[in-house]
Structure 1
Amino acid sequence: MTDNISPVTLDNASSNKHNELEKTSPLSVLQCGNDFSEYIKLYSPSKVLAFSQLFPNATAIISRYLKLPTSLLLVNSRFWLNAEQVLKEAIPNELPSDYLLSYNQESLFGRLSVSGHEISYSEGILTKLNNGALVLNVSPLLVEPNLWFKLKSVLQRGYLIASDAVNGERIKQTLPDLKSQPINIKLVLVATRLQLEELIQIDPEYTQISSLFCELASQIPANQDAVNTIANYCQHLTQKLSIEPLDLDALNTLLKALSIECQHQQQLLFDPEFIQQTINYANLVSDENKISKDDLNNYFKEIYEAKSLARKYSEQSILEGQVNLQLSGENVGQINGLSVVELLGYPCEFGEVFRISASDMIGDGEIIDVERKVELAGNIHAKSTHIVQGYLNHFFSHISAFPFSCNLVFEQSYQESDGDSASLAILLAVSSCYAKFPVKQDVFVTGSLDQHGNVLPIGGINQKIESVTRLFELGLISNPVTIVMPKANIINLTLNDQTLVLIEQGKMLIHAISHCHQAFPLVLNKQFEDVIKTINYRIELANKEEMEESSSSLFSRLKHSIFH
């Protein structure tokens, strides 16, 4: 029998290195959120509303486009108001321009009307805005593709034909000749990437029109320029509402909300419509002629509660015991994972705690993924399970036959799921199952793995952690708990105030790790090497028992043949 010590533990220097790696400390409150007060203190109000400074590359493309013979500019922007303001700043005032979020055939190409034997033509925006710039939201073109093909034809030939107008294809009389008036217009289409892809599907040859492309990011770096621009926009809106400008605390609250929308400590959502809606709504709940920090928080709370019905049903099922969670003590092969629930047609996502369990049996080292077997999990989930199996089995390559297999179940999962964020939890549950070391049930784990054991970032980290906060609010836990998450996700932590209070009180200990070995002391109270040694010992006992049974069987057969 080969030595039962895994190759990773043979080198004392390597072992010491792993021991150093496994030491982690809980994250502080400052690491779990952000504060923009220092930026706001340096902010000086300006009467000029300027978005373009945040998008210098796009602004340069727009200004050059206006000087080129190119007739089409595609602006990739998630938010119409953002694109509209940047374009207004980049397009000179002396150049005629118009911005249309909604339009139809008549507003673009005009209308033909018959009065007796005479046909009259009412001009559309293309004629009225000749030699100017027309900015269109792409959505109506996707709803009514015929509009796009008509626009494309006008740009290609350089003039209108009467049949483009409303009623042009119905009137049987001789139509007026519009060729004498050339159409020279700069067309700007504002669209998201998905909408551009849809346009390509409608017309794969849309590139027949010479065009330029630029994009406006929906997320911008959280720096002084960004804070100044957003603060200026807020003050511009408060001025329109005839209320006092937002004070430092209110601005800081709004900026935190924009950061939470991005789930990134160094990014801000730049959505003028979101800011506009927030200030308008907060103004309704304000008792004075001023929007305070509390007014903004009340608005965010109301909006959050208005979209919480599915989440409340989930919490109710936990309170009623319909979902079985163990939140204290220890258990072998059982661990609490964290997931994000996404429902079709539902406007928001929420985090949820779920249980992963593993049970071993005689086998060949396979992790039998029940979710995948019954087609309740997708390909990414299947890939992550194979990565965990390969990583764990790597430490037993010195053994000719790994004698155990493991049955893996996501308990009480009744709908299809996918993703690899449970990889770390799966590894810990399976390791606990093989080594018979119990898992602490007041620990919650999320994180993806590569085949070298590195813990990789995952999505929805804030929703996942805040799902544990709700367990405190529901009274299901009161003692300190531990959360294990990827270190790379620290920058994504923009946790709500309730969670930050728990962290400050020491009731929520968040450990951010970069390698799976660091999770074992936190979850199993064992070093990774100890787990491997114990599994090796179990394998050795199993092989020894098998050899004894084989010897006993052989002796019985010999005895039977001799004496009978």
Structure 2
Amino acid sequence: MRIVAAALQPKIDEWANQRPTATSPSALVGQQRALSALQQALSIAGRYAHGFVVTPAGMRTYDVLNEVESKQQWLHANKFDWVYVANPESANEPLCVNLPCGKANDFLVKLWELLQADVSVRAPLRDFILETFPSDRVAKYIELIIDRTFDDLPGSELATVIVSHDENEPFMLCDRVTEASLFGSIRLQSVEGTISSDLHLIEAGAVLKANGGVLAIDAEELLIQPGLWRKLKYILRTSEFHWPQPGDANIAAYYQPEPIPVHIKVLLLGERDIYAQLRELDRDFDNLFPYLADFSSHYSLQNAPLAPYFDYLSYVERESAVLPLAADAYAALFKFVTRITDFQTELSLDTIAIMQLMREACAIAQTSASKEISASHLQQALKQRHDRDGYIAELSRRAILEGQVYIATEGEVVGQINGLTVITAGGHEFGEPTRITATVHYGDGDIIDIDRKSELSGSIHTKGVMILSAYIANVFARNEAMALSATIVFEQSYHEVDGDSASLAELCCLLSALAEAPIQQGLAITGAVDQFGRVQAIGAVNEKIEGYFELCRTRGLTAKQGVIIPAANLSQLNLSDEVIQAVADNKFHVYAIEHVGEALELLTQTEQKQLYARIEQRLNELQQIEREVPWWRRWFN
């Protein structure tokens, strides 16, 4: 069926008219599945209740986690200040004490006063310390030094604060993971030729700084560092942090601070592939990280209302620090965010991509002294981006226009068809037509794929050729073998051909050659096909249509040109304004089909029954000739 212009893009104008007067900026729009998983993880304590957060490309992780923290805090968080104090019984084994948040410095002042006071009058001060800083470790340490003086303590330092924080501190994000940044370190010093360590040389890492709260770690950064993953697992299993020995194996320096108990919630941040590999390769992973918070990169209008998405756009606009969006800018922005997702009812949540577009459009608006970003500014920004990325596409199109690559867009030819491919160069995709030809000859029913014979066919393309061969055999050779063989090839293709999106074009080309029915060269076609002739969806449908349209427009539109696509791809159409206008003016056409028969009728302007009857008649004639030829002549021939 022919597609009307209105169906070639999403309902962007209708959506833009639903813009509310007030919004509440939020980075968590459309993330209910992930938020539910995080809520479950943050409501449970214990060693085996950590989570993995799938972070799609373009998501500003810090913003998302910050908003999660403001709404869903860890219910079992219990933070302390941690202080290492001199051990009167061992100079190289300092002791740790925990204190209420923000009280570490106050404790050190009172500890200093206690040791300065005469032993006989320390009782009131001891009671004050025990009452002000209620902790078993504090009580144990005060009991240990209650009758000691500074002279009884080893070294020249009394204590050092390892971790000090406020009650309402947010989560900690460790996105640059090294052993020192994650686990801390103990440095060494040389005093009169003697290498040693001391209290002030102990430095805490993210695990201890986040102790009692939530620690988010970049999974990829963690896993590429040898040994860090195993060490983190040990801490999570034992709930205890042991300091590594300072220095390296060539330096003999013993310094072993007392282990610190760890009570922490860990969230690993990474791609879905990393999550899958950890589940497959590490037997401990499922036990330690049972909660998967899968953040989405799309907002589906089939499952949720449009209104919350305006809150997300408001958040992106705020973080972009750009001029306000004009009323007419929203339709252009909706067109962009749906084009990213490749679906008419899916809106992108790629924050960085949208921010980049907004900032580029803002720069254009400021150049023209505008006080807001309009649709024309967004369109100009997209055009500039297309011009920057379009050099390779321009060279490819120029080769066709100059005749170096032969592509016919007018007339009709038997056994020749314009298929549609997509080229990816430097991250930029563009559509490019390719000429497919087929010939038939007397034989035993084989279909020879020249690209496969010359080792230029990928495995998926080879599968597609086998499927179309099966369709032809199912239709025309159920009872006896065909006395006809065929060859098929992508003309002027000098690199590997892969994918099954050209299998429909190849099948139509073969049937055209078998029926000796000419194909309209103004029509290009894309689609995969199954063994029953049903047409299946393909990728990059917009790029393919626009690539062929650009070639036809440059040569001059004839009103007989167009593209045939699978009906399953209708929900992905989001074409440029130029294509939509040409379709509206009846100068270019887009057809959607569900079966190969529909494609053949459009391409050959002949009914499917007549075409198949001509093929059957030709095959019957060849079968009759084959029966009349003696077997020995067929053998030697």
TM-score range, shorter chain: 0.7 to 0.9
Helix, strand or coil for the counterpart of 1:364? coil
Alignment of 1:250-289 (within 5 A): 250-286=329-365, 287=368, 288-289=370-371
Q: 1:469·1:498 contact (CA, 8 Å) conserved in 2?
A: no
**Considering only aligned residues, what root-mean-square deviation do their CA atoms show, in Å?**
2.6
Q: Which residue of 2 aligns with 1:400?
A: 480
Matched, 1:28 2:7: no
In 2, the alpha carbon distance for the partners of 1:496 and 1:341 equals 18
Of the candidates 485, 488, 505, which is equivalent to residue 585 of structure 2?
505
Alignment of 1:138-537 (within 5 A): 138-163=219-244, 167=247, 172-179=252-259, 181-199=260-278, 203=282, 205-222=284-301, 227-239=306-318, 243-286=322-365, 287=368, 288-343=370-425, 346-397=426-477, 400-475=480-555, 477-537=557-617
Alignment of 1:4-15 (within 5 A): none
Amino acid at match of 1:392: I
Q: Which residue of 2 aligns with 1:136?
A: 217
In 2, the alpha carbon distance for the partners of 1:198 and 1:486 equals 35
Q: How far did residue 360 of structure 1 move?
A: 0.8
Of the candidates 54, 74, 78, which is equivalent to residue 76 of structure 1?
54
471-480 or 442-451, which moves further after superposition?
A: 471-480
Query: What count of residue pairs does the alignment treat as equivalent?
Result: 524
Deviations 1:293-335 (A, max 9, x none): 1111122122222222221221121122111111111111111
Q: How far did residue 367 of structure 1 move?
A: 1.1
73-82 or 437-446, which moves further after superposition?
A: 73-82
Of the candidates 88, 104, 109, which is equivalent to residue 66 of structure 2?
88
In 2, the alpha carbon distance for the partners of 1:190 and 1:524 equals 55
Q: Which residue of 1 aligns with 2:43?
A: 67
Matched, 1:108 2:108: no
Q: How far did residue 478 of structure 1 move?
A: 4.1
Name the CA shift for 1:210/1:395 in 2 (closer, same or farther; >3 Å): closer
Q: How far did residue 461 of structure 1 move?
A: 0.8
Q: How far did residue 476 of structure 1 move?
A: 5.6
Uncovered stretches (5+) of structure 2, i.e. residues with no partner: 74-167
Helix, strand or coil for the counterpart of 2:564? strand
- Asked which structure has the greater CA Rg, the reply is 2
402-411 or 195-204, which moves further after superposition?
A: 195-204
Q: Which residue of 2 aligns with 1:14?
A: none
Uncovered stretches (5+) of structure 1, i.e. residues with no partner: 1-23, 554-564
Q: How far did residue 208 of structure 1 move?
A: 4.9
Identity %: 27
Helix, strand or coil for the counterpart of 2:555? coil
In 1, the alpha carbon distance for the partners of 2:269 and 2:58 equals 7
Name the CA shift for 1:376/1:534 in 2 (closer, same or farther; >3 Å): same
Q: Which residue of 2 aligns with 1:18?
A: none
Q: 2:323·2:362 contact (CA, 8 Å) conserved in 1?
A: no
Of the candidates 20, 24, 30, which is equivalent to residue 54 of structure 1?
30
Q: 2:52·2:289 contact (CA, 8 Å) conserved in 1?
A: no
Name the CA shift for 1:241/1:520 in 2 (closer, same or farther; >3 Å): closer
Name the CA shift for 1:400/1:109 in 2 (closer, same or farther; >3 Å): closer
Give the TM-score of the pair, scaled to structure 2.
0.77
In 1, the alpha carbon distance for the partners of 2:586 and 2:544 equals 18
Q: 1:162·1:168 contact (CA, 8 Å) conserved in 2?
A: no
Name the CA shift for 1:167/1:199 in 2 (closer, same or farther; >3 Å): farther
Q: Which residue of 2 aligns with 1:556?
A: none
Q: Which residue of 2 aligns with 1:17?
A: none
Helix, strand or coil for the counterpart of 2:438? strand
517-526 or 137-146, which moves further after superposition?
A: 137-146
Q: How far did residue 466 of structure 1 move?
A: 0.8
In 2, the alpha carbon distance for the partners of 1:204 and 1:351 equals 45
Name the CA shift for 1:387/1:44 in 2 (closer, same or farther; >3 Å): same
In 1, the alpha carbon distance for the partners of 2:507 and 2:484 equals 15
In 1, the alpha carbon distance for the partners of 2:318 and 2:543 equals 35
In 2, the alpha carbon distance for the partners of 1:81 and 1:33 equals 26
Q: How far did residue 397 of structure 1 move?
A: 3.4
Q: How far did residue 474 of structure 1 move?
A: 2.6
92-101 or 408-417, which moves further after superposition?
A: 92-101
Q: 1:422·1:447 contact (CA, 8 Å) conserved in 2?
A: yes
Q: How far did residue 468 of structure 1 move?
A: 1.2
Amino acid at match of 2:288: I
In 2, the alpha carbon distance for the partners of 1:129 and 1:170 equals 32
